[in-house]
């Protein structure tokens, strides 16, 4: 935050599932998720992040396996980028906008 001279940024290091429940409806621009690989928390973490994001908000996810476009679409998300570095699959994901009524 200091190096980028960013304003309006809050960094939290905590249990993401608990924090995200409190942030539902917060319309966040970006959420970073890096759950422990062996904890089986990926679905819960993603499901918690989606309600906290604004429409078209971004999610950065690190995981031991690649998340597919159909998996993410089922959660209202769109895969923008994926890369693999060693054991880590990194994903840049966008929350899909709700369809116009």
pLDDT for the residue numbered 100 = 47
Crossing angle for the helix pair 42-49 and 16-23, nearest 10 degrees? 20
| Helical (H) or strand (E) element with 19 | helix 16-23
| pLDDT tens digits for range 14-44 | 887 888 889 999 999 999 998 888 888 899 9
Residue 78 burial (10 A CB sphere; 0-12, 13-18, 19+): middle
C-alpha–C-alpha distance, residues 30 and 23, integer Å: 12
């Amino acid at each position: 935050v200091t190096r980028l001279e960013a304003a309006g940024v809050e960094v939290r290091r905590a249990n993401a599932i608990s924090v995200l429940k409190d942030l539902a409806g917060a319309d966040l621009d970006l959420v970073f998720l890096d759950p422990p690989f062996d904890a089986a928390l990926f679905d819960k973490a993603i499901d918690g992040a989606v309600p906290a994001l604004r429409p078209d908000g971004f999610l950065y996810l690190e995981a031991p396996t690649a998340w597919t476009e159909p998996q993410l679409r089922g959660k209202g998300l769109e895969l923008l980028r994926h890369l693999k570095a060693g054991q880590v699959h990194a994903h840049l994901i966008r929350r899909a906008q709700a369809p116009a009524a």
